[in-house]
Every structure is written in structure tokens, then in C-alpha cells.
Structure 1
Amino acid sequence: MNRRPLPQIVLGVVIVVVGVVGLLRAMGLVDLSLDDLFSTWWPLAIILVGLAALVAAPRAWIGPTLIVTVGLLFQLDNLDLLDVAVGELLWPLVIIFVGLSLLTNLGTRGTDDRTINSAVIWWGSARRTTSQQFEGGSLSAIMGGIEVDLRQAGLADGAEISVFTFWGGVEIKVPPTWRVQVSGLPVLGGWENKTVPPADPEAPVLTVHVTAIMGGVEIKAGD
């Protein structure tokens, strides 16, 4: 039986609670202003999404960390705990993210890499490997795109890829002999696993953990 991932369950519970509080207020059973509550604490939703993304795809930590940081800044500003305007801090955060993405992409970029790590913002990246012991990696796309070609690669045991996308897209191409298992957290986004499970019960397994926030991930076999 398929089970919902924990981050999705937590977000669902929070949304239901907000709806129940609103219903009780409309019925006159509670005296609570949702407008005041929302205007003060709405950044907690951003923080929660970022934390859920970290749980769903921990290896793709750069994007979720940025989201959590932005949410914390807005929350501190709402509580009058910041002496600096949030807008003045956002650009430095973006610059830091760009620097982290460059550091993440450092190292070999040959066609025999065992891992593929890529983080992009406002641009695209195309990676390919033919390693016969591919171990996985992390992919973060914020308002950009990443293409990964694994069609000539082989899998190591326990291979995993963590994917985070925010207003972006990620495409992963795999051999038709692989079994691909996908799970994660969709927030106004999602993923599509176009692969067909092979008949071989001993087929190599690639596990993909996805967080898709207003973005998409596509995994397909062959061309």
C-alpha cells in the first residue's frame, strides 16, 4: 500500500487546521481574527515548506535552506525584530545562493562521474555520465532547468537522487532496464515517472526524492 510522505501529511494537517479554525469562527464558536493571525504569522508557511523540502530531499539542501532563510527573515520582520528591511537582505541571499551553486558544481565534470550535483538559478545545466557505478546526487533548479542523461550509466547499490525545483524543471533520462522509484513533496507542482518497470525482479533500482514547488520533474527511459 502506498503511504503519503511525512512532509505532505504535515502540510495537509496544517491546511486542514486553518480551514477548521476559519469554519469555527464563521459559526461564532471561536473569537479569533484569521486576518490578524495570517498577517503576523504567514511566513511560517514558507518556513514549513522549506523544512518539509529538507526532509523530502535532504541532499538537495541549498534550495530548501534558501526558502527557510527567506521565511525566517519575513517572520522576524513581522515581529519587529529586524532593523533592516527584508528587501535589502534578499539580494545578498540570492548572491550567496549563486555562490553555493557554483561551489556545488565544482569538481570533475567528466562522463564517468559517480555522482552528479547541480544547482542552478536563472540558467540551465546539462549533465551526463556513463559511470557503471553511478551513486546518485542532488539537483536544485530555481527558475531554471537541469537535464541529466544516465542512459549509458550503470547503478551502484542504493543509488539515490534528491531533486528540488522551484519555478523550474528537471529532466532525468535513464536506461529502460532500470526500475525507478519516486517519492516526495508536491506543492503546486509535481513529477511524472514515464518509465516502465522492467520485468526482471532483480533490475537495478534508482530512488528519486523530489520536492516540486510550482515546478516539475520528468523521468523517462530511452530517447
Structure 2
Amino acid sequence: MKNDPHPRNATTQVVLGLLVIAMGLLFLLDNLGFVDMHRAFSFWPMLFVIVGTVKLCDTRTQGGTMLGAAMVGIGVLLMLDRMDIIDFSWRTIWPLVLIGLGGFLVAKAIRGKRAQESGVAMLDGAPVGAGEVIDVTAILGAYERRVTTQDFRGGEITAVMGGCELDMRGASIRGEAVINVFAFWGGVTIKCPPDWSVSLQGTPILGGFEEKTIAPPDDSKRLVIRGYAIMGGVEIRN
């Protein structure tokens, strides 16, 4: 991760920028009388499509890809319902959420089985040493995890209408580690040791990134936080 140029992060910025420009053009056309934005606002499910697209462009994990695709799919279905092309309601979404959650659990179990077959030691269903690279997801709930590896290399944290708390005060970094966060209607809290320097490079959209850490004596251990806080918050503290 140290030499990762993060091309997908740049792609996400471009996609997000184009979406913002499109929204600005719509409001401009509304002010000029060419379109009626009151009717356009009835297509609020586009929010799911936009957020899902951002997640798809930014994720590097299978779980993140599944989540992004699910959000885009729900947004498209709701849009088609608004256009009276299909009949789709929130009562239909809940079974789809259960199906998606079941598929995610099955995929996770398969990955664990493959790891066992390849000879990787397992602990509580996860490979021993997996704390070196994390993949944490909280949807409509809370997730708390403690990481104590002495060779933390980064990973990905996703919180959708839920919260994630990652306690790494007993961990260590060799050089630099990067964590990609995605908080949508949710919050992420990261606790790091006082000898880590923190670099916030995230993008808040109606949300916020906040750092409450003590400045270390040197920059030998550096934690980089990238990603998005969409109507949510990300806090890093000691």
C-alpha cells in the first residue's frame, strides 16, 4: 500500500465531480425556466445510485463491491417505480436486503474455507494475522474491533446507517498505512497510538472528518485516512 498511486481514488473524484456539475446544471436550468426541479426532486432515489457509484469506484474489497452494487440496484429499481415502469416499494426492499446479507455471509464463509484449505491458520473464522489488513463493514448496526498487530498495513472501513469503532492503540505501523473509509448516514471512530501521525485526505459531503490526536515527535509512523463521509462523520483520536 505504501507505493499505491490510488488511481481508483482519482477516478472517484472525477465521477463525484461530474455528478455535482450535473446537479448544478439542473438547478441552473430550473432558474432559467427550462426544467421544473420540483418534479426532478421526486427522483430522490438517484441518491442511492450516486452513493453506490462512489462506493464502487472507491472500494478495493469484494464486500464493498457488493454493497455498492446493491445500492445502485435499489436506486435504479426505485427510479423505475417513480417512472411507473415497474411496481416496486419499500416492502420489496427488505427481502432483497436479507437476500443480499445472506449472500455476503455465504461469500465470507467460502473465503474462510478457501483460506483453511490453503493452510492458513484460522481464529474465530478469520485468518490469523488478518489484522494486518482490515475489512470492516457495519450496516444498520454497530461494529467494534481491536487490532493489536505490530505490522498494520491499512484496509477499508464501511459504515452505512451504522457505526464502526476501531481500536488500534495496541498496534504498530512500519512506515505508512492507508485506511479507506466510507460513512453514509453513519459514523467511524478510529483510535490510534500517540506515536502515529495522522493525515486526513477524505472528502466530506454534508458530513465531516475530525482529528483529535496528539502530534507525535516524528513522522516515522504515518496513518493516512482517505474516503468519503456522506451525511456521516469520521473521527480519529488517541
Normalised to the residue count of structure 2, the TM-score between the two structures is 0.73
Amino acid in structure 2 at the alignment position of 1:187: I
1:71–1:129 distance in 2 versus 1, CA, 3 Å: same
Q: CA deviation at 1:72?
A: 1.2
Q: CA deviation at 1:211?
A: 2.2
Q: CA deviation at 1:101?
A: 5.7
Choose the corresponding residue for 2:222, options 202, 205, 213. Answer: 205
**What is the alpha-carbon root mean square deviation over aligned residues?**
3.1
1-structure distance, mates of 2:173, 2:22: 38
2-structure distance, mates of 1:182, 1:100: 33
Q: CA deviation at 1:50?
A: 2.1
Aligned residue for 1:13?
A: 21
Q: CA deviation at 1:178?
A: 1.7
Choose the corresponding residue for 1:72, options 56, 66, 76. Answer: 76
Q: Does 1:126 align with 2:130?
A: no
Choose the corresponding residue for 2:237, options 200, 220, 223. Answer: 220
Deviations 1:134-189 (A, max 9, x none): 12222222232211111121225552222222322211111122222223332322
RCO higher in 1 or 2 (8 Å CA, sep ≥ 6)? 1
Q: CA deviation at 1:112?
A: 7.0
Choose the corresponding residue for 2:102, options 94, 99, 102. Answer: 99
1:112–1:128 distance in 2 versus 1, CA, 3 Å: farther
Aligned residue for 1:108?
A: 126
2-structure distance, mates of 1:134, 1:205: 11
Q: CA deviation at 1:220?
A: 0.9
2-structure distance, mates of 1:220, 1:140: 18
In structure 1, stretches of 5+ residues that fail to align are none
Q: Is the helix fraction higher in 1 or 2? A: 2
**2:77–2:88 contact (8 Å) kept in structure 1:** no
1:119–1:99 distance in 2 versus 1, CA, 3 Å: farther
Q: Does 1:23 align with 2:23?
A: no
1:113–1:37 distance in 2 versus 1, CA, 3 Å: closer
Aligned residue for 1:166?
A: 184
1-structure distance, mates of 2:72, 2:45: 9
**1:112–1:130 contact (8 Å) kept in structure 2:** no
2-structure distance, mates of 1:218, 1:187: 15
1:43–1:57 distance in 2 versus 1, CA, 3 Å: same
1:33–1:129 distance in 2 versus 1, CA, 3 Å: closer
1:169–1:111 distance in 2 versus 1, CA, 3 Å: farther
Q: CA deviation at 1:47?
A: 0.9
**2:78–2:88 contact (8 Å) kept in structure 1:** no
Aligned residue for 2:193?
A: 175
Aligned residues: 211
Normalised to the residue count of structure 1, the TM-score between the two structures is 0.77
Alignment of 1:125-144 (within 5 A): 125-144=143-162
In structure 2, stretches of 5+ residues that fail to align are 1-9, 113-124
Deviations 1:75-113 (A, max 9, x none): 22234443x423243112321343356465963287872
Amino acid in structure 1 at the alignment position of 2:89: V
Aligned residue for 2:52?
A: 50
After alignment, is 101-110 or 125-134 more displaced?
101-110
Q: CA deviation at 1:218?
A: 0.7
